[in-house]
Structure 1
Amino acid sequence: MMRVMLFVGTNIAVLLLVNVILFIVQGVFHVRLGNYSSLLLMAAVFGMGGSFISLAISKWVAKRTTGAQVITEPRNESERWLLDTVRAEAQKAGIGMPEVAVYEAADMNAFATGMSRNNALVAVSTGLLQSMDRNQVQAVLGHEISHVANGDMVTMGLIQGVLNTFVIFFARIIGTLVDNALSGNRNSESNSGGFFYFIIVMVLQVALGFLASLIVMWFSRRREFRADAGGARLAGRDNMISALQRLAGNQGAQADLPKAIQAFGISDGGGLGRLTASHPPLEERIAALRAGAA
């Protein structure tokens, strides 16, 4: 789940900065709040831009957040096996060799991120390497390679960009209506609104952004089944099922991740807040793999 929440979290941070810039631009270029076509165009530029900036810096953010160390030269047999396995699976999936990294964490986790199929990062935790056998690790790597091969991050960037656009647009439309109602329409001819309008828009953007995140998480849950199927093709269905079963026996380890990136890992997506989970429950993923085999 690390892959998803890291992207969403970075996107939210970028979007907040974008909003400050957008208020300034609105004032400088005198974009009236009632000019809906101009506002929608500006929202699209900043909304899509914020999303793809998040995508472009996703590898850097992932490394900084987790402390992942990229393997440039293998220092031992385990790292050599890790590089060889990723290289073989990447070739089989038809993508360029991603960067391979290991980060210190007791929980069993892995993630993949990056700007494109040929410019990606695959990282695994030390806990995963220590707690799973190589067949299971190979399956987890196949799952992450499949995310890259399927273009999930780019697709998510497009979806998030469209949602950002509408969040920015409707937050300002609703904010204008609320501000005018509370001020007795004294601000109806304002170019950019006042401080109170700014606060209203920021609150609305958080609320609308949360609703938009539910759509992103729904999309993420659907893509997990496809990545599981890809992992089964690359590493064997039995190995993929075995890896998920191993994770199911270790539920709760996700709490060891930093809060901002908990949803980027590979653990269970059940329990509290099913709608906000980036992954389906592990039992559903295992059942889907078994149904596919049948």
Structure 2
Amino acid sequence: MFDNIKILLLFSFLTGLLIGIGYLIGSFFKVGILGALIFFLFAIALNFASYFYSDKIVLKMYGARIVSEEEAPELHSIVEELAMNAGIPKPKVAIVENSTPNAFATGRNPQNAVVAVTTGILNLLNKDELEGVIGHELGHVKNRDILISAVAATIAGAIIIVADYARFFAIFGGGDDAEGIIGIIAMTILAPIAAIMVQFAISRSREYKADESGAQISGNPLALADALNKLQMSVNTKPMDANPATAHMFIVNPFGGKSKTLLNLFSTHPPMDKRIKRLEELRTF
């Protein structure tokens, strides 16, 4: 019930941003209400698509390929065993051809979940560490936060794209309504920030929770801590070419954590040292 309320609030907030952009663009042509109505209809369609297809959109975005047990027997074995430990159906397994080590889970519910890992993570981690990472992702599935994560990624990505086009239109559209142009530019700057801040609020607490769940599912919190440390160092060295709207879905920030770029100022992940410390403390229990 609470998850459904969170989804509804997310839809409402990000839909409001789209309607605001539509109103400002419409006002540019002296038809603000019409612009708001058009973007409201667009938001309804987007909400429908993101609820039912957001997982497929994210998988396609990264070229994730569903693999069979014959193609990846060890990976399937790990997922199957840990899913049994977690008490959830075995998710589908996907591999992303990317040398940067990372992983994410997506899907509408535990019955339709997918766990995706990059080729980089398969080459970097040992079996115990990989089990810790898979346990973390299954923690997301068990905690039922994969839907809101995928929905946030899809809607936030759409808002960022719409905002970029609107800003381009305001600057190069040739209109003479200075007040309208300023409004559009202001909204299209603030809208992506607001969308990212929603992801920020969603992601930080759930990453801690997934770490704890992953440690319990795998039975080895120190292996997950070691995996996170390796992943962070690798991503710092070789950041992933990822969409900012989906960054919160990965087990570690795909852009790394050393640089002071805007992407890191709005990082949707908790500080890695805190995550590792919390996992190390779990070994005493």
TM-score, reference length from structure 1: 0.66
Match of 1:284 among 248, 251, 274: 274
Q: Report the AA paired with residue 204 of structure 1.
A: M
Mapped to 2, the partners of 1:278 and 1:213 lie a distance apart of 8
> Would you say 1:225 and 2:218 are equivalent positions?
no
Change (3 A) 1:157 1:67: closer
Moved more, 136-145 or 233-242: 233-242
Match of 1:239 among 223, 226, 233: 223
Name the residue aligned to 1:186. none
> Would you say 1:69 and 2:65 are equivalent positions?
yes
Match of 2:49 among 50, 53, 71: 53
Change (3 A) 1:253 1:125: farther
> Would you say 1:208 and 2:191 are equivalent positions?
yes
- Higher RCO, Cα 8 Å, sep 6+: 1
Match of 2:76 among 51, 72, 83: 83
Q: Report the AA paired with residue 130 of structure 1.
A: N
SS at match of 2:108: strand
SS at match of 1:97: coil
Q: Structure 1, residues 56-105: CA drift from partner, whole Å, max 9, x if none?
A: 32232233222222113423xxx111112112222322322211011211
Mapped to 1, the partners of 2:280 and 2:235 lie a distance apart of 21
Q: Report the AA paired with residue 251 of structure 2.
A: I
The count of residues paired between Structure 1 and Structure 2 equals: 241
Structure 1 runs not aligned, ≥5 long: 1-10, 34-38, 164-181, 184-195
Change (3 A) 1:256 1:270: closer
Contact 1:107 1:253 in 2 (8 A): no
Mapped to 2, the partners of 1:48 and 1:292 lie a distance apart of 44
Mapped to 1, the partners of 2:151 and 2:49 lie a distance apart of 12
> Would you say 1:118 and 2:108 are equivalent positions?
no
Q: Report the AA paired with residue 271 of structure 2.
A: P
Say what the alpha-carbon RMSD is for the aligned residues: 4.1
Moved more, 261-270 or 135-144: 261-270
Which structure's CA Rg is the greater one?
Answer: 1
Moved more, 150-159 or 223-232: 150-159
Name the residue aligned to 1:267. 252
